[in-house]
Amino acid sequence: MNESKLILIADMIASPLAVSTEDGQKIHDAVAAEIRVGGKVSLSFRGIQTLISAFLNSAVGQLYGEFSDEEIRNCLSIQEMEPDDAVMLKRVIDNAKLYFSHRESFDQAWKEEVNDEE
């Protein structure tokens, strides 16, 4: 299966604003479903006017908790993304890789921080 499924983000979320985690989850679910069956996905950011990291964390970042870096690199491609947004995506990916490689220690540190504030 060499053909990539093209996902036009603006069409899937019915908005030029990629700002909500709920919309990011829609993208994540579509991408993850394709990766699970060995498919390839191309995400197009054409028509996206505003993009925030919360959307990218939900859409792309959480994939690193389900799939290996190699699987994601082999199955997911990005199209038509603004250079500044590509920098943000790289940061999201780097943070996701770090988090998911040390998840227990990050979660424990977070619990301790939250309990200290109560």
Cα 100 to Cα 17, 32, 68, 106, 107: the distances in Å are: 27, 16, 10, 9, 10
Print the domain residue range for 76: 4-117
On the question of pLDDT at 117 being above 80, the answer is no
Mean pLDDT of 41-63: 97
Query: Tokens in use for 20?
Result: 């909500």
- Domain count for the chain, please give it: 1
Phi, psi for residue 18 in degrees, rounded to 5: -95, 80
Q: What is the pLDDT of residues 76-115, one digit of tens each?
A: 999 999 999 999 999 999 999 998 887 676 566 556 667 7
On the question of pLDDT at 1 being above 60, the answer is no
Mean model confidence pLDDT for the chain = 90
Q: What is the pLDDT of residues 59-79, one digit of tens each?
A: 999 999 999 999 999 999 999
Query: Tokens in use for 88?
Result: 């943000």
Strand order in the sheet with 76-79: 4-8, 40-44, 76-79
On the question of pLDDT at 24 being above 90, the answer is yes
